[in-house]
Amino acid sequence: MSAIEEVILRNDRRGISALKRYLPDDFCTQAAKHLLDNPGVAIVCTGFYIRAAGAPETDGPPGAVFIGRALESLGYAVTQVTDELSSPALKGAVPADRIVEFPIADDASSRHHASELLARLKPSVLVSTERGGMTRDGQYLNMRGIDYSPYNAKLDYLFNGQTPSVGIGDGGNEIGMGNLATEIPQFDTLPDNPAVTRVDKLIIASVSNWGAYGLIAALSLLVGKNLLPSGQEEEDMIRKMVDAGAVDGVSGNNIYAVDAWSLSENRQALEALHAVLATHGL
């Protein structure tokens, strides 16, 4: 693996790094090139609702916001797409007119909404980070195998294979993990019934936010400019989202943490990516 992939797969608590053998060594760079090859309009999807807590989690939205900012700095028009139950994590971090709340609806209505949104925004690329993906039987399952389908909009229908796409996940149950749906059940710590929605380029990480930062780091190397947020900017973003109601995805508690990592522990991945960029003069 390259230095970026090594950073984002450190401290793997879920066994997701077992999947690295099925991906290119430079999967972040390949995903970044895919974005740069498709300039114009980007849709960024995120938001994972924690049913037991009645709130969205802190993993996903920070990475989505910073991906959006990086792409905007490169000239993309960016829209963040989530649903009404997860949108509180984005509000205040993204201008209201750049957030779309996709309806939580049945399959037919969801397909219609997806087609309508794609026709209206005409995206040149789709990015999903820590957004729950549909299983083969049409459910949305968390890492404990609990069905939270009634609380999740079917954003999968945006990923119909016609628009270039990138997916980021850390558990096997997110949009994009369909690329490895056959391999994921082979590992005891990963879901037996994984997500099946596919993307063109998949990024795996120990924490999805770290995967988002890996993508931004790879973009930075390709364009010759450091597009990463600072560690303080990331901490401030997480605090803002927690203050808006977001919760730690592991404990379900409204605390300043991401997947049970404290703010200081969490920022180490971002700082390590800055160190990688520094070796390249960025």
Give the pLDDT band (50/70/90) at residue 7.
Answer: very high
What value does the mean pLDDT take over residues 218-230?
Answer: 98
pLDDT of residue 6: 98
Copy the structure tokens of residue 271: 């700082």
Count other Cβ atoms within 10 Å, centred on residue 189: 13
Residue where the block lists tokens 């090859």 = 37
What value does the mean pLDDT take over residues 170-189?
Answer: 97
Give the pLDDT band (50/70/90) at residue 144.
Answer: confident
Q: 263: helix, coil or strand?
A: helix
Helix (H) or strand (E) holding 43: strand 41-45
pLDDT of residue 1: 67
Could you tell me which of 84, 217, 212 has the C-alpha nearest to residue 155?
Answer: 84
Nearest-angstrom CA–CA distance, 158 and 45: 10
218 contact partners, CB below 8 Å, separation of at least 6: 4, 26, 28, 29, 31, 32
* Mean pLDDT, the chain, integer: 97
Can you say how many angstroms the Cα of residue 41 is from the centroid of all Cα atoms in its chain? 18
pLDDT of residue 225: 98
Task: Quick: pLDDT tens for 108-132.
Answer: 999 999 999 999 999 999 999 999 9
Are the beta carbons of 219 and 70 closer than 8 angstroms? yes
Nearest-angstrom CA–CA distance, 163 and 148: 27
What value does the mean pLDDT take over residues 55-82?
Answer: 98
Nearest-angstrom CA–CA distance, 154 and 109: 10
Query: Which residues are 82's β-sheet partners?
Result: 101
